Amino acid sequence: MQTLDLVYSRRVYAPQEGNMDTTEIKKVIADRIGKRRAAIEGMSQEKLEELTGIDQPQLSRYETAQTAPSMATIIKLAKALDCTVGYLIGAEDNPKPPDLLSSLSEDERAVLETYRDRRIALEREIINQEIDKIAKPHREHIRRLINALQTTGKLDSRRDNP
């Protein structure tokens, strides 16, 4: 499928030369919204309105290609319809990204977990080295604060950030 090279301009997508025109873009988005809504049991326009805050008449205009949603609206719709933005605008054919972890072998998962554990240990070591540079009366207070944040979940040392 042709990737849509879209230039976003306020509320309407302005196609670049040689790409789909605005009418085609609206049709693709309308089709994808309708397909995702149909794929989710009980996902009426009213339910979608509840989830996104977009009123039902406006949702109807999107689904009938009368108007194109803004990028902010497409993001809301993608979240509510459990799909990617790329799928809604026609840049991807798969509504959901592949689950990469499920394709890994047990050995590959073990390597990933080891990497993650070592990275966390290294981060903790670096943090402790930096805390050790702080004046002694403040060190223990900072360590208790970090511990409290980790305990309450407000500071998660196991984030999946690289």
Region 75-97 average pLDDT: 92
- Same domain? For 10 and 78 the reply is yes
Q: Confirm whether pTM is higher than 0.85.
A: no
SS3 call for 8:
strand
Region 55-72 average pLDDT: 95
Percent of the chain with pLDDT over 90: 49
Strands 6-9 and 12-15: antiparallel
State residue 140's pLDDT score.
86
- Same domain? For 27 and 60 the reply is yes
Residue-range definition of the domain harbouring residue 67:
6-88
Q: At what angle do helices 22-39 and 56-63 cross, to 10 degrees?
A: 120
The CATH number linked to 45 is 1.10.260.40
Domain count, the chain: 2
Looking at residue 103, the DSSP 8-state letter turns out to be G
Check if the beta carbon of residue 14 is closer than 8 Å to that of residue 7.
yes
More confident residue, 148 or 64: 64
Distance spanning both ends of the chain, measured CA to CA:
32
154 pLDDT band, cuts 50/70/90, is low
Query: What number of other Cβ atoms are within 10 A of residue 26's Cβ?
Result: 21
Residue 162 CA to residue 154 CA, distance in Å, equals 19
157 is a domain residue: no
Region 67-79 average pLDDT: 94
- Same domain? For 78 and 146 the reply is no
Residue 8 CA to residue 15 CA, distance in Å, equals 9
* Alpha helices in 40-135, H assignment, sequence order: 45-52, 56-63, 71-80, 85-88, 106-132
